[in-house]
Amino acid sequence: MQTEILCRPAASVARIQMQEGESITCEVGAMIAMSTAINVETAARKRGSSGGGVLKGIKRMFAGESFFLNHFTATADQQSLIIGPSLLGDIVSHPLTGGSLIVQGSSWLASGADIEIDATWQGLGNALFSGEAMFWIKCTGTGDVLLSSFGAIYEVVVDGTYTVDTGHIVAFEDTLGFTVGKSAGTWLNSFLGGEGLVCKFEGHGKLYCQSHNPPNFGKLLGPMLKAR
Amino acid sequence: MSETSFVHQPLGKSSTSADGKLAFEIFERPDFSILSVKLRTGEKVFAEPGAMATMTPGVDLKSSFRGGFGRSMGRLFGGESLLVNTYTAEQDSEVTFAPGPAGDMVHYRLRGGNLMLQRGAFVAHSEGVEITGKWQGAKGFFSGQGLVLLKASGDGDLFFNAYGAILEIDVVDGLVVDTGYVVAFEDTLGYKVSVMKGLRPGSKIKSFLFGGEGLVVDFEGRGKVWVQTRDVGPFLRWVTPYRPQKSRD
Amino acid sequence: MQTEIRNRPAFANIRVLLESGDSLIAESDAMASMSSTVAMKAQLAGGFFNAVIRRLFGQESMFVNEFSTYGTGEVVLTQPFPGDMECIELNGNTILLQPGAFVACESGVKLSAGWAGFASFFGKEGLFRLKASGTGKLWFGAYGGIFTRDVSEELTIDTGHLVAYEPTLKLKMGMAGGFFSFIFGGEGFVSKVRGQGRVYLQSRSMDGLAAWTNSHLY
């Protein structure tokens, strides 16, 4: 299976070439275009469900939400699949070699079929964004994880400590420790409201950040739209 | 698609064309492409209402109904307005046009063939080009989801935009595209809209889909398809929690 | 202090390397990430503001953050929307910015509210522009790519596409075409810029994005 990232850096898509029998798991809605000899199965998991169905290693869901996945399998050689995320931004591929990567829920685009996906990880607590709970996915195993971002993706190799506004976290290796708190902590910041939650990472590991913050964009555009 | 070749629209911050009727430049490519048309005295360009970004002095702007659509006022058709803005240069001038979403823009020179355009993609055209609705007949006419198409024909310049980047695909061996990502295609291709394989009809997944997702287009034959790399459906799903809420009466 | 605008023009952001004694002022929500050695302190901008003026800005609260460090540190500054950023160096001159365009400036730059006249009220932009003057670097950004036009006579601009302009230019509200096209032509009121000077324009507008999004909502 070969993966190529096209249309970088702001409207990136991943083109995956598969031979017969190869497969990949993707977030639902990610499929843009594909060859004709590809089988698609959609699975949904709800909290408390014991599974069954075609996908290996999907653990329970988070907070009663359903997490939809598409599993694409090539039924002939030389089949191509193009996938992309919801927002403008970039895609990077992170190779997992047995360890774990914690991925912000909306930044998880796809992963190899042998990677275990656990959507119940709650290490960052119930961080809220405009009343919506963020969710995190723990990916473990061997293979590639495709990460998407709102904005440009920049990597920080943490060796000591580093602080990130939580809306800018894409993914991080689980070798890193972290604490969540308010940003500057002055009375002015509390007065202004807004989340202003930051995450201070420490230890050694890789951290992927995005240059832009989806809730800040949503809060700007949302009020200009029709009511729901 | 195994034989099909991919050509990403040539990069470089701007592009023009030697065989365009209009003197134009598409710059700020590929993410926020904006069209600049330099009009000579007497020349006209026709554009989607609301697209104008800047205009030098001496350009006359008139809004009128597109020919052939009868008297229905204000009804949105194919995602484009029934109205068209005509810009006529009374002196040498420049008009720039910017669509709503971030993304790329393509110049296509029509020479007698037809180009099918998805809803929302039309930006502008030169004299000599005619835009009409494509009534789907037996295929049904989807409004708000699936394919809603306009047909561009004639001899002249056509400019269309996308949400995201544009992949130009030469179809040789069949291609399946989620309807939300189809921007335009040459009408030498046959096409059929259906529900994507693997989705169980009547299942809860339908309610999760927003605006046509789960519908795909099966292309066959030979011709070019322009595919965008982002889709309005997922964008709407993402932005909905930030929209104002109607107060309950 | 070293600064670099990265990832232009789609997702421009500023990477700043601070040293002891450096100071950088940034819009209140601009911090994306920073070394733990950097201190961030909130303050009122310019001293000119009271709550009334702050509310008139709508999009942008005029509280800013000041960044400094005792050793060395890194800060990444961003803006809420995808798009480009520009850095200009002020040397006693003034530039007028649209609300929402301000990203950051050095401490020698003074920020105040400039009166844009009643005309701009109808363009939904509010009555004020942000006026930046003094000495030092100023960073501003926009939704879309940023390009310039040097006006010698007049230029009609769809108001949502105007980012910044030199004060030698005067702004007037107008209609792009006749009355029928005002109602149906989708442009509404436009800004007519007259005089000699440079305008900074953006190749997308938040109004245009909202209109496109709304056209898909029922």
Predicted pLDDT of residue B138: 28
> Containing H/E element for A216?
helix A214-221
**Distance (Å, rounded) from C-alpha B97 to C-alpha B101?**
12
Cβ contacts from A onto B, under 8 A: 147
Confidence at C88, pLDDT banded by 50, 70, 90: very high
Alpha-carbon distance A111 to nearest alpha carbon in chain B (angstroms)? 19
CB A83 within 8 Å of CB A14: yes
pLDDT at B106 over 50: yes
- The CATH number that applies at residue C75 is 3.60.160.10
Predicted pLDDT of residue C111: 82
CB B114 within 8 Å of CB B187: yes
CB contact A189 to C (< 8 Å)? yes
Predicted pLDDT of residue B185: 94
pLDDT tens for C21-37 read 999 999 878 888 888 88
CA dist A162 → B164, B196, C33, C79 (Å): 32, 44, 8, 20
Inter-chain residue contact B56 with C155, CB threshold 8 Å: yes
Cβ contacts from A onto C, under 8 A: 108
Inter-chain residue contact B52 with C158, CB threshold 8 Å: yes
* Dihedral (Cα; A181, A183, A189, A190), 10-degree rounding: 0
pLDDT tens for A63-119 read 344 566 788 889 999 889 999 998 999 999 999 998 999 998 889 999 998 888 877
**Distance (Å, rounded) from C-alpha B74 to C-alpha B62?**
16
CB contact C82 to A (< 8 Å)? yes
pLDDT tens for B212-224 read 357 888 899 999 9
Predicted pLDDT of residue B75: 40
pLDDT at B202 over 70: no
Please report all neighbours of C, defined by 3+ CB atom pairs within 8 A: A, B
Averaged pLDDT, A31-35:
87
Predicted pLDDT of residue A61: 39
CB contact C141 to B (< 8 Å)? no
Confidence at C60, pLDDT banded by 50, 70, 90: very low
Per the prediction, chain A carries an average pLDDT of 79
Inter-chain residue contact B239 with A226, CB threshold 8 Å: no
Nearest-Cα residue of chain A relative to residue B101: A88
pLDDT at C41 over 50: yes
Fold for domain B21-239? Answer: Double-stranded beta-helix (3.60.160)
The full set of domain ranges for chain B reads 21-239
The full set of domain ranges for chain A reads 2-224
Inter-chain residue contact B8 with A35, CB threshold 8 Å: no
Considering CB atoms only, which of B6, B31, B176 is closest to A11? Answer: B31
Considering CB atoms only, which of B199, B238, B245 is closest to A42? Answer: B199
pLDDT at B142 over 60: no
User: Does domain A2-224 correspond to CATH entry 3.60.160.10?
Assistant: yes
Averaged pLDDT, A154-183:
87
Confidence at C106, pLDDT banded by 50, 70, 90: very high
Number of domains in chain C: 1
Is omega for the bond preceding A9 within 30 degrees of 0, making it cis? yes
Domain span including residue C129: 2-217
**Surface of C (111-140) touching A: CB under 8 A:** none
**Distance (Å, rounded) from C-alpha C202 to C-alpha A44?**
42
pLDDT at B210 over 60: no
Inter-chain residue contact B238 with A68, CB threshold 8 Å: no
Averaged pLDDT, A6-29:
91
CB contact C55 to A (< 8 Å)? no
Give ∠ CA B35-C162-C195 in degrees, rounded to 5. Answer: 100
Predicted pLDDT of residue A36: 81
Inter-chain residue contact A33 with B200, CB threshold 8 Å: no
Q: How far apart are the first and last CA of chain C?
A: 50
Which residues in chain B have Cβ-Cβ distances shorter than 8 Å to A66? 204, 208
Averaged pLDDT, B26-36:
94
Which residues in chain A have Cβ-Cβ distances shorter than 8 Å to C10? 9-10, 88, 152
Predicted pLDDT of residue A48: 29
User: pLDDT higher for C141 or A197?
Assistant: C141
Confidence at B76, pLDDT banded by 50, 70, 90: very low
CB C110 within 8 Å of CB C134: yes
Averaged pLDDT, C205-217:
89
pLDDT at C163 over 60: yes
Considering CB atoms only, which of A184, A210, A211 is closest to C41? Answer: A184
Per the prediction, chain C carries an average pLDDT of 83
